[in-house]
Each structure stands twice: as C-alpha cells, then as structure tokens.
Amino acid sequence: MRIALASDHAAVALKALLVEHVQSLGHEAIDLGPFSADSVDYPDFGYKLGQAIADGSADKGIALCGSGIGISIAVNRNPACRCALVSEPLSAKLSREHNDANVIAMGARLTGQDMAKECVTVFLATAFGGDRHARRVDKLSHPQLSKEPA
C-alpha cells in the first residue's frame, strides 16, 4: 500500500520514525512534510494529506500534530477521508473494522513512539468489517441517507 504521512512542526520527529516503520512493514511511505521543526500551520498539511487520499496517490494516511486533534479536523474536511483520532491499538483497530477509516491521526505530545508504531501496525493490518458497519459508513459519506430516529 501507499501510505501518505503529514504532520506539523510538533510531530516532525514522530513522522520520520513512522515513515521508517511504514517502510519496515513493506509499504511505500509518502512523506508530505514538513521536513523541519520550523513552525507551520497544521491545516495546510492536513489538507495536503486529504488531497492525496482523494486523488488516489495514497491508499491510506497518517496525520500527526501536537495533539492530533487539529490535523484530524483538517483531514476530515475532505469528503473522501474518514480520519480517526487514535491513541492506542484498540482504537486503531476499531477505526478500520467499524468505520473503514482511511486515515489515522495521533498526537506527538500525547502518544509515545512505541505506542504510535503499534497503532500504525494495527491500522494497516486491519480490514473493514463490512456487514452491519457498511450501512453506517455509507451514511458518513452520504448524509442524505441518514434518517431521524422515530
């Protein structure tokens, strides 16, 4: 798989570590930047990652910033993306199984390096569960399918 990674300045070091980790798992890593710890705006890189998913240049993505929150919001502005903020392997697994997430976000100031690597490993190895989850995921991309509870 082609995995795009993007961050802000707070997560450059974690991104570099995860680029190597993605490659060690046998995937192609596409580093969308930034490439230094100079201050940048996380939305710029979140949008760049979202576009890579939308245009098909990446199959999945990993978004990183200080908390993971801001960049996840930016990625999710692209309708082609389902970005889940994760902090441990179970949330990474469930994001794939239940929500067919195609991007995960993590906070470099909140998630340790080993935990982040494990989240990536699980995320990339887990398939979408389909079945009852498919209807719900369809509604994420097509809000008009949603019905008000009776």
Whether 131 has a pLDDT exceeding 90, the answer reads: no
* Neighbour count for residue 54 (Cβ, 10 Å): 14
Task: Supply the pLDDT for residue 6.
Answer: 98
Task: Supply the pLDDT for residue 150.
Answer: 58
Quick check: is 81 catalytic? no
**19: amino acid identity, one letter:** V
User: Which backbone phi and psi does 131 adopt, to 5 degrees?
Assistant: 45, -125
60 DSSP assignment: E
Quick check: is 98 catalytic? yes
Does residue 18 fall inside a structural domain?
yes
25 contacts 5 by C-beta, under 8 angstroms: no
What is the domain range of residue 74? 2-145
Computed over every residue of the chain, the mean pLDDT equals 95
pTM of the model: 0.94
Q: What is the pLDDT averaged over residues 16-40?
A: 98
Does residue 150 fall inside a structural domain?
no
b/e string for 76-111 if b means 16 or more Cβ within 10 A?
bebeebbbbbbbebebbbbbbeebbbbbbbbbbeeb
Does residue 89 fall inside a structural domain?
yes
Whether 87 has a pLDDT exceeding 80, the answer reads: yes
Does residue 65 fall inside a structural domain?
yes
SS3 58: coil
Count of structural domains, the chain: 1
Place 76 in a pLDDT band, splitting at 50, 70 and 90.
Answer: very high
Whether 138 has a pLDDT exceeding 90, the answer reads: no
* Catalytic residue of the set 9, 65, 81, 119: 65
**12-16, 24-28, 128-132, range with the lowest pLDDT:** 128-132
Q: What is the CATH number of the domain that holds 74?
A: 3.40.1400.10
User: Which backbone phi and psi does 147 adopt, to 5 degrees?
Assistant: -120, 150
* Catalytic residue of the set 21, 81, 83, 98: 98
